[in-house]
Structure 1
Amino acid sequence: MTMLDVGASRDNARYAHLAENRERGDITLDRLSDREWRVTDRRLDEHDAPSVLGIIEQTDVGFTVLEINELVAQWTADTLDDAVSLFVTADQG
């Protein structure tokens, strides 16, 4: 195993830990247009690809959420706050 592999493995473990423990305050919305927002994890450098969590688009039926990770998932939410909450992964108990 080379040093590059060890660093990449550590980064992947860090990203996984952050993804499993994301609170509402960790999420930032960047307005792309009047009806679209990029969702990012503010704990990561904006130039790191894993910092982009997805896209939210306001439609006639609510807010369409496109989550980007290993797989791509799509949902619809009634409000922007509900849409953002879909990216929260930390136990709020």
Structure 2
Amino acid sequence: MSNQDHEPCATGDLEVRSLSDHEWRVGDRRCHERSPKKVLGYIEKRGSAFEVMNIEAPRRHVMFDHFESAVASFASVSPT
């Protein structure tokens, strides 16, 4: 599954849904709830860290120290 044709998402367009006390789904609030483009990835709390699985790179899991940083990793970054 991939959303490679998905438009980049700004931080304000991110939507976080709790799946359990340690798992969250990150989506694009601009997309319809039933659209496969809605889901950007998942965050899972592992110990004191947060593991991100981005649909764009499903085999690459990235760890973050803070939940907010994990969520922000789904937002587009402007080139500098």
- Name the TM-score class by shorter chain: 0.7 to 0.9
Query: How many pairs does the alignment contain?
Result: 77
Question: For 1:44, which of 31, 50, 54 is the aligned residue?
Answer: 31
Which digits, 9 at most, give the CA deviation of each residue in 1:17-61, with x for residues without a partner?
x22xx1111000000000000000001111110110000001114
Q: Counting helix residues as a fraction of each chain, which structure ranks higher?
A: 1
Question: For 1:23, which of 7, 10, 24 is the aligned residue?
Answer: 10
* Counterpart residue identity of residue 62, structure 1: A
- Cα distance in 2, alignment partners of residues 46 and 76 from structure 1: 27
- Cα distance in 1, alignment partners of residues 10 and 79 from structure 2: 8
Percent identical pairs in the alignment equals 34
- Cα distance in 1, alignment partners of residues 79 and 18 from structure 2: 26
- Alignment pair present for 1:53 and 2:53: no
Structure 2, unmatched stretches of 5+, are none
**Corresponding position of 1:77:** 64
Runs of 4+ in 1 over 4 A off after TM superposition: none
